[in-house]
Structure 1
Amino acid sequence: MSFDLSVIPHKNIILAVTGGIAAYKSAILVRRLKDAGFNVRVVMTDGAKAFITPLTFQALSGNPVHTDLLNPEAEAGMGHIELARWADLVLVAPASCDTLAKFAAGLADDLLSTLYLATKAPVWVAPAMNQQMWAAKATQRNLATLIEDGVHVIMPDAGSQACGDVGLGRMPEPEDIARQVTEYFHKAQRAIAEKFGLLAGKKVTITAGPTREAIDPVRYISNHSTGKMGFSLAAACYAVGAEVTLIAGPVSLDTPNGVKRKNVASAMQMLDESMKKLDDGCDIFIATAAVADYRVAQVAEHKIKKAGDELNVALIKNPDIVATIAQQEKRPFMVGFAAETQNIEAYAAGKLVAKKLDMIACNDVSRADIGFASDENAMTVFFAEQYQLDQRDLEKASKQEIAQQLVEAIHDALTHVVQSEDDF
C-alpha cells in the first residue's frame, strides 16, 4: 500500500454553488481545487445561475454542470443518486441562508438539497450572506443543527460586503478553502498511512543537498547537488507512514508536507545533526546528501584579497557521514547513494561493502538527462549479501517515482530479513 501526500489524486469533490454575489469566488475555487489534484463536478442552484453561468464552471472543471433534480441525461434519470455515490466530499461554497435552512429542515425540493440527503460523503458549507442575516437567530439555530448533524462549517470572514454593510458574512478566499480541503484529505490519508503504510511507525532520517565548506567569509567549496532526490524521498517516506527528519544542506526547496527539517551548511554540521538523530531514535538512515570530501584546513577570518596568480588552500578530509553512522553500536538500517561518472556499478558495490551499508542506490551523474539539477533520475539498487535480494534497475522516471520505488525496496529488505530470521 502506497500513499503520495504531496498531491491528493483521484479524489472527487462536488462543489455546490448557491445564490449570492460570492458565487464569483467559486469559479476561482474550482481552479484551485483542480490545481491541487482533485476531480471537480459543479452543482448549481437556480439562484446561483443568476450570478454566474454554468458554462463558466463547465469550462473550468472540465465536466458538465448539474442543475436539475430529475435529469433524463443522467444515469437512469437519477442524477442526485449518481452524484451522491461519486462524491468523496460535498462542498457548498457559497452556502446561502436559504440553503442552510433547507439542509437543517431536511427539505428535498431541488438537486442540491436532495443530494445533501442522499450522500454518505462529508458535507462542508462555507456560508456567505449579509452580516445581519448571518447574525439572525434562525440562521444560528440552523447552523447549530447542521453542526450537530456532522456538517463542517467554514466560518465566514468579516469585512466590507457588497451591500455596503461591514461585518461577518464574507465567504473566505478560494485559496484558503482549497487549503483546508487539501489538509483534510492529507490528514485522512496520513492516518491510514500511519496504520497500514510500508514504513508505518518507522523513524527515518534523510540527508540531502550539498554541503558548503567555507574558505573565507564570502567563499566556499561546494557541488551541484540540488537536494531534489532527498526531498522526494522524504515526501515518499512520510507518505507511507514514517516519521521523517530531513537534514538539508543549502538548497532552495520547500519542506515536504509533514516532514521535520534541520538546515545545515557544512559536513561537520551535517554529521553533528545526524548523530543527534541516532540519540533520539532512528530506524532508517538514508544518505542522499552530496557531502564534500574535503574542507579547508584553516578558514580565513577575513575575505582573502586577490594577490598574485596563485592561491594555495590546504584541505583536510571530512568524516564520511554514512560510514560513521553505520559503525555505531545501535545502527539503523543504512541506505547509501553513489553518484559516479564511470564504473558506476563497481564503485557502488564496493561502497556497499566498505561502508557496511544495507542498501545502496547508484546513478550516473555524467548523463545530462538525469542526476544533479534534473527532475528525473535512473538508478541501480544493490542490497547487502544477508538480504539475498537481486539488484534492481530503476528505469528513468521522475524523482518522485524513483523515490517511491526506493521506499518499496527498503520495505522489501526490512521485511525479507525479518522473514529470514523467523525461518530459523
Structure 2
Amino acid sequence: MKILLIIGGGIAAYKASELIRQFRKAGHQVTPVLTAGGAHFVTPMTLAALAESPVYTSLWDLKDEREMGHIQLSRTADVVLVCPATADLLAKMAAGVADDLATTLLLATDKPVVVAPAMNVRMWLHPATQRNIAQLKADGITVIDPDDGAMACGEFGPGRLPDPPDVMAATLLRIGASSPSPALVNPVADALIGHHILVTAGPTHEPIDPVRVIANRSSGKQGFAIAAAAAQAGARVTLIAGPVSLPTPGGVARIDVETADQMAAAVEAALPADVAILVAAVADWKVTPSPVKLKKGDGPPALAFSPNPDILATLAASPDRPRLLIGFAAETNDVVANATDKRRRKGADWIIANDVSGDVMGGSHNQVHLITADGDDPWEVATKEAVAARLIAHIIQTIHAKTPLT
C-alpha cells in the first residue's frame, strides 16, 4: 500500500520516524510530507532515509507543479495519514483551508484520510477542537482517538499520540489492507457484509438489595472495540452490553442489560448469528435480592448463592450455534492452561485469554493469547482497538477459508 504521511508540527512528530519504519518493515510505501512546524522536530534527511523516498515540504518544491503536482501527489496514495495532527492542522482541515502543501493535498485528495491528533489535554478538550473533530468525522475522515497519559508539558489526560504500531493498525484497518507483520493483520473492508456478528461486553450486575450488587471489574472497552471493528468490516453487529458508560460504536445495534439472566435472554433473542464473540465478564453467581436495603447493624447477611446461566456453554450446545463461537477467559495465573481447559469444557471454537493480574481491567491495552484447537498463539501488548482489529482479521480469514457463511 502507498501511504502519504503528513507530519504536523507537534512534539509527537518524533514518532513519525518510527511510524515510517513500521510501515516499511510491513512492506508498505511511505511518501512523507513535512510541514513547516514538523520540520522543527524532525529533519527531512531522517525521513527520506527511513522512507527511501523524497520528502516534500513546499508547494513550490514539486518539480512538476506546472502539471499540478500537488494533485498527483494526493491521488497516487492509497491513504493519506496525518500524524501528528495538531489543533491548528485539524482546524484548517475542518475549515477547508489550503495555505500550504499539506492542507492543499488534503483538500485535493480523493483518497481515504486518517488523522491521529496529538496535543495538550486542554487543547484537545476545548470546544473548538471537538467541533472540528466532529466536522471531520462528518466529512468521512477517520479520527484515531488520542491516548490518555503524561505529556511533554507536564499535564496528564487525553491528547497523547498513540504508539506507532497502533496508528499503523488503525490506518490499515481504514483501507482494508493487511500487513505481513503478524502483529498488524487487519480486516478487509466490507469483507463481513452479509454476516451477523453478536458481541457481549462489560460486566453484569447481580442485585443483593436495591443499592448493592455483585459485579466484575470490566470496563467493556475490549468488547466495544471488537464491535466497532466488526462494523467497520461491514458486518451487521449486535452488541449486548452490561452496565457501562461507553458510547455506542457507529453502525452497531446495542442492547443494554444488567444481569446475567437478562444477557442470556438477549443473546438467545439475537440469534441466529454467524459469529458470536462473548467478551462480557458475566458474574458467576447470583442471590435472591432483598426488597429493602440490608442494614449494616444487622450484621453480615446470609446470602444463598446460585449459579448464573453459562452463556458460552449454552450457546455451544444450542441448535442455533454460530458457525464460529469465541469466548474470553480473564485469568490471573496459568493463563494458557486454564483457557485451553475452558475451550474444551465450554465447546468454544476459540478462547481469547488474557492475564488480568495487572491493570488490564479498565485499561487501554491488552495482551492476549488466541487459544484454538491448534494450540496457543500469543499476541504482543497492544491497544484494545488493535487487539480488536487483529481478532476481526482472523475471523475474516477463517470464515472465508471455509464455505461462506450464510
**Would you say the 8 A contact 1:208–1:287 is kept in 2?**
yes
Q: Alignment partner for residue 340 of structure 1, among 331, 335, 346?
A: 331
Q: C-alpha displacement at 1:178, in angstroms?
A: 2.2
2:95 is aligned with 1:82: no
User: Structure 2: which amino acid aligns with 1:377?
Assistant: N
**Would you say the 8 A contact 2:201–2:280 is kept in 1?**
yes
Q: C-alpha displacement at 1:407, in angstroms?
A: 1.9
Which of the two has higher C-alpha Rg? 1
TM-score (norm 2): 0.61
Q: Alignment partner for residue 257 of structure 2, among 249, 264, 267?
A: 264
Q: C-alpha displacement at 1:409, in angstroms?
A: 2.6
2:278 is aligned with 1:291: no
User: Structure 2: which amino acid aligns with 1:224?
Assistant: R
Secondary structure of 1:349's partner?
A: helix
Using the alignment, how far apart are the partners of 1:203 and 1:362 within structure 2? 23
**1:223-234 to 2 correspondences below 5 Å:** 223-234=216-227
Match in the other structure for 1:314: 304
Using the alignment, how far apart are the partners of 1:343 and 1:185 within structure 2? 38
Q: C-alpha displacement at 1:231, in angstroms?
A: 1.2
**Would you say the 8 A contact 1:12–1:86 is kept in 2?**
no
Structure 2: where are the runs of 5+ without partners? 7-30, 44-55, 81-91, 112-130, 145-172, 178-186
**1:409-420 to 2 correspondences below 5 Å:** 409-418=394-403
Q: C-alpha displacement at 1:235, in angstroms?
A: 1.6
Higher mean C-alpha deviation, range 341-350 or range 283-292: 341-350
Match in the other structure for 1:160: none
2:291 is aligned with 1:301: yes
2:379 is aligned with 1:404: no
Q: C-alpha displacement at 1:192, in angstroms?
A: 7.5
Q: C-alpha displacement at 1:41, in angstroms?
A: 8.3
**Would you say the 8 A contact 2:205–2:215 is kept in 1?**
yes
**Would you say the 8 A contact 1:295–1:316 is kept in 2?**
yes
Match in the other structure for 1:213: 206
Using the alignment, how far apart are the partners of 1:10 and 1:407 within structure 2? 23
**1:241-390 to 2 correspondences below 5 Å:** 241-278=234-271, 281-296=272-287, 298-332=288-322, 333-366=324-357, 368-369=358-359, 371-384=360-373, 389-390=374-375
Using the alignment, how far apart are the partners of 1:92 and 1:228 within structure 2? 29
**Would you say the 8 A contact 2:204–2:260 is kept in 1?**
yes
Using the alignment, how far apart are the partners of 2:94 and 2:338 within structure 1? 58
Secondary structure of 1:395's partner?
A: coil
Q: C-alpha displacement at 1:175, in angstroms?
A: 5.0
Using the alignment, how far apart are the partners of 2:350 and 2:190 within structure 1? 20
CA deviation digits over 1:293-352, x for unaligned, max 9? 0111x2111212222332211111100011111111121021011111222222211211
Q: C-alpha displacement at 1:417, in angstroms?
A: 4.3
Using the alignment, how far apart are the partners of 1:182 and 1:41 within structure 2? 22
Using the alignment, how far apart are the partners of 2:142 and 2:335 within structure 1? 44
Using the alignment, how far apart are the partners of 1:111 and 1:249 within structure 2? 48
**Would you say the 8 A contact 2:284–2:308 is kept in 1?**
yes
CA deviation digits over 1:389-419, x for unaligned, max 9? 4431112221122222222332333344449
Using the alignment, how far apart are the partners of 1:111 and 1:353 within structure 2? 59
Using the alignment, how far apart are the partners of 1:394 and 1:339 within structure 2? 15
Using the alignment, how far apart are the partners of 2:277 and 2:241 within structure 1? 12
Change (3 A) 1:241 1:221: same
**Would you say the 8 A contact 1:195–1:241 is kept in 2?**
no
Once superposed, what is the RMSD of the aligned Cα atoms? Answer: 4.5
Using the alignment, how far apart are the partners of 1:87 and 1:239 within structure 2? 24
Using the alignment, how far apart are the partners of 2:335 and 2:201 within structure 1? 20
Change (3 A) 1:339 1:92: closer
Structure 1: where are the runs of 5+ without partners? 2-8, 14-38, 43-53, 100-109, 123-172, 420-424
Secondary structure of 2:140's partner?
A: helix
User: Structure 2: which amino acid aligns with 1:286?
Assistant: I
**Would you say the 8 A contact 2:200–2:277 is kept in 1?**
yes
TM-score (norm 1): 0.59
Change (3 A) 1:213 1:391: same
Aligned residues: 301
Q: Percent identity?
A: 34
Q: C-alpha displacement at 1:262, in angstroms?
A: 1.2
**Would you say the 8 A contact 1:247–1:261 is kept in 2?**
yes
Q: C-alpha displacement at 1:380, in angstroms?
A: 1.4
